[in-house]
Copies of this chain bind each other. A is one copy, B any other.
Amino acid sequence: MSEAQLPEHRPGTEPGSRTNLDPHVERYAARTAGMTASEIRALFAVASRPEVVSLAGGMPNLAALPLESLSQQMSELIAEDGLTALQYGSAHGVPALREQICDVMAMEGITGHPDDIVVTVGSQMALDMVTRLFCDPGDVVIAEGPSYVGALGSFAAYQAEVVHVAMDDDGLVPENLRAALAQCEKAGKRVKLLYTIPNFHNPAGVTLAVDRRAEILEICRQYDVLVVEDNPYGLLGFDGQTYPALRSMDPDNVVYLGSFSKTFASGLRVGWVLAPHAVREKLVLASESATLCPPTLNQLVVSKYLATHDWKGQIKTFRENYRERRDAMIGALEQYMPEGCSWTHPDGGFYVWLTVPEGVDAKAMLARAVTARVAYASGTGFYADGLGSRQMRLSYCYPTPERIREGVRRLAGVLESEMDLMRTFGSVTTRAVSGPQTPGPETA
């Protein structure tokens, strides 16, 4: 986390503190009621100090990028094709890039047509557009529990109701999905989407078992629910393993979201949707009303990079960096964590999901952790229904292995103190559960 990651505040103005003085308070749309800042933001002044080890962020580690040749390419791009790069494009996206995206998706078994791709401003925008297209207020989105905080933010913005389905170490549990859908049906709820991150889940760190995939698709077909497959980490399996995309198994009922944020550069904000043709047509119209078009420059930068760099080799380098960090985190958890804690064992991606002993409130503990110079993303942010108070997401993507080990050591110390207090006085804190928090890039 760095200063660039969170908005600064004027001295003396805490987020929310002006709410009562806001002269516009009667004017907001109903949907703004769901917009609240994450608790890490409130701790920003402290949490952003360099001495704090942040295990809260989702920033990719870009140090391995070939900056020198990227610099050269950028220069060529403007000199040779500047009037295109700096001009409006279409909301659909640059045709050459859409063709290259097909090659990227082919690595996970997807056969798609470039025409059925819409380029978006990161896959966050893709998520927002898909929700815009399908969700009326009160419509249900089924999501894993926990789920990506940014998705919960988009669903809240469209006043969709999120129903979580629990996972196990093999990801989404088909029986749980079936039960949730049956219950919604019984309650007369209109379920529109299953939102799922099958590979190296954010925040859970688990992967959907291959032998569950067909079953999950079949259940969605049966209940007439469209599948939204969000796959930013699919190429970051630590052994180079990939899994068949849900999209590859049911092209007509899956909307697939992809991103270059984790495999190339997040600051370019280039993501995409691959959708059934009729849906794609509507997505283009929705995107036009949202941003007119994604930045042309950024699309050409990605396109040129894919055309001229060994991008698969670069992904391998990223994977190796993240594997080393994952190892550091898992090793440190094993070494330092007190009894009663458990955690997931990711084979790829950025995150470990940690469960703390009963009685510890991970959200309430965050302020104390930051004082002890370690930050994490508390679990409640990843649920729309108030669950997650005993969980936290630890990300190993950005800090060095040494810092990761030190961060986990500090966190273990905070937990030990918390548990000591608990043993002495009973439960340390009682806090009301709370709904989803609006995502920030720090929790992406």
Residues of A within 8 A of B (CB): 3-10, 13, 15, 18-19, 21-25, 27-32, 35-37, 58-60, 62-63, 65, 67-68, 70-72, 74-79, 82-92, 94-95, 115, 121-122, 124-125, 128, 132-136, 139, 150, 153-154, 156-158, 192, 224, 226, 252, 261, 265-269, 276-279, 281-282, 284-286, 288-298, 301, 438-441, 444
**Which one, B88, B89, B269, B285, contacts A293 given CB within 8 A?**
B269
**Which one, B21, B62, B292, B441, contacts A89 given CB within 8 A?**
B441
Across the interface, do A35 and B298 meet the contact criterion of CB distance under 8 Å?
no
Contacts of A30 in B (CB 8 A): 136
**Which one, B29, B35, B90, B439, contacts A135 given CB within 8 A?**
B29
24 A-B contacts (beta carbon < 8 Å): A4-B89, A4-B296, A5-B90, A9-B115, A18-B278, A18-B281, A22-B278, A24-B278, A31-B136, A35-B285, A71-B74, A71-B79, A72-B75, A88-B267, A91-B441, A125-B290, A150-B288, A150-B289, A290-B290, A292-B440, A293-B441, A297-B297, A297-B301, A298-B298
Chain B residue nearest to A300 in the complex (CB): B267
CA distance A136 to B156 in the complex (A): 14
CA distance A153 to B296 in the complex (A): 21
Beyond A70-B78, A286-B157, whether A7 also contacts B91 by CB under 8 A is: yes
Across the interface, do A65 and B86 meet the contact criterion of CB distance under 8 Å?
yes
Q: Secondary structure of the A side of the interface? A: helix
Beyond A35-B282, A295-B269, whether A24 also contacts B90 by CB under 8 A is: no
Across the interface, do B157 and A121 meet the contact criterion of CB distance under 8 Å?
no
Contacts of A94 in B (CB 8 A): 4
**Which one, B28, B83, B288, contacts A440 given CB within 8 A?**
B288
Across the interface, do B79 and A67 meet the contact criterion of CB distance under 8 Å?
yes
CA distance A167 to B88 in the complex (A): 29
CA distance A6 to B75 in the complex (A): 27
A253, chain B: closest CB distance, angstroms: 8
CA distance A301 to B136 in the complex (A): 38
A47, chain B: closest CB distance, angstroms: 14
Across the interface, do A136 and B29 meet the contact criterion of CB distance under 8 Å?
yes
Across the interface, do A86 and B439 meet the contact criterion of CB distance under 8 Å?
no
A227, chain B: closest CB distance, angstroms: 12
Across the interface, do B59 and A82 meet the contact criterion of CB distance under 8 Å?
no
Chain B residue nearest to A120 in the complex (CB): B291
Beyond A82-B67, A293-B441, A297-B298, whether A27 also contacts B226 by CB under 8 A is: yes
Across the interface, do A133 and B289 meet the contact criterion of CB distance under 8 Å?
no
Chain B residue nearest to A121 in the complex (CB): B291
Beyond A82-B65, A150-B289, whether A115 also contacts B156 by CB under 8 A is: no
Beyond A7-B91, A24-B278, A289-B439, whether A267 also contacts B78 by CB under 8 A is: no
**Which one, B68, B86, B95, B122, contacts A79 given CB within 8 A?**
B68
Across the interface, do A281 and B15 meet the contact criterion of CB distance under 8 Å?
yes
Contacts of A59 in B (CB 8 A): 87-88
Chain B residue nearest to A21 in the complex (CB): B278
Across the interface, do A122 and B291 meet the contact criterion of CB distance under 8 Å?
yes
Across the interface, do B157 and A289 meet the contact criterion of CB distance under 8 Å?
yes
CA distance A296 to B269 in the complex (A): 8
Beyond A292-B444, A295-B267, whether A284 also contacts B7 by CB under 8 A is: yes
CA distance A291 to B444 in the complex (A): 11
Contacts of A192 in B (CB 8 A): 27
CA distance A58 to B298 in the complex (A): 21
Chain B residue nearest to A267 in the complex (CB): B296
CA distance A63 to B288 in the complex (A): 25
Chain B residue nearest to A193 in the complex (CB): B27
**Which one, B5, B267, B441, contacts A86 given CB within 8 A?**
B267
